[in-house]
Amino acid sequence: MIVKLLRRVFRRGESPVSSASAVIPLARHGIHREHVSSGARRTCETLQKAGFKAYVVGGAVRDLIAGIEPKDYDIATDATPEQVRSLFRRSRIIGRRFQIVHVMQGGETLEVSTFRAAHDADTAKDAHGRVLRDNVFGSMAEDAARRDFTVNALYYDPTRETVIDYHHGVADLKQKTLRMIGEPRARYREDPVRMLRAVRLSAKLGLALDPALRAPIREMATLMENVPAARLFDEMLKLLFSGHAVECLKRLRDDGLHHGLLPLLDVILEQPLGEKFVMLSLASTDARVKAGKSVSPGYLFATLLWHEVLANWELRKARGEVSIPALYEAMDEVLDIQAEKLAITRRIAGDIKDIWALQPRFEKRAGKAPYRLLELPRFRAGFDFLVLRAESGELDHELADWWLDFQNADPERREAMLVPDSGPKKRRRRSRAKKPFDGNASVAADD
Q: Alpha-carbon dihedral of residues 294, 295, 298, 304, nearest 10 degrees?
A: 160
The 3-state DSSP class for residue 125 equals strand
Check 134, 148, 172, 351 and give the catalytic one: 148
Pairing of strands 54-57, 162-165: unpaired
Catalytic residue list contains 234: no
Question: The sheet that has 108-114: what strands, in order across it?
Answer: 22-24, 162-165, 154-157, 54-57, 74-77, 108-114, 100-105, 91-94
* Helical pair 297-318 and 346-358, crossing angle rounded to 10 deg: 50
User: Nearest Cα to 77, choosing from 112, 109, 34?
Assistant: 112
The 3-state DSSP class for residue 76 equals strand
User: Nearest Cα to 362, choosing from 351, 354, 370?
Assistant: 370
Catalytic residue list contains 405: no
- Identity (one letter) of the amino acid at 392? S
Catalytic residue list contains 421: no
User: Nearest Cα to 316, choosing from 336, 293, 332?
Assistant: 332
Rounded to whole angstroms, the Cα distance separating 160 from 174 reads: 22
Give the residue numbers marked as catalytic.
Answer: 72, 74, 148
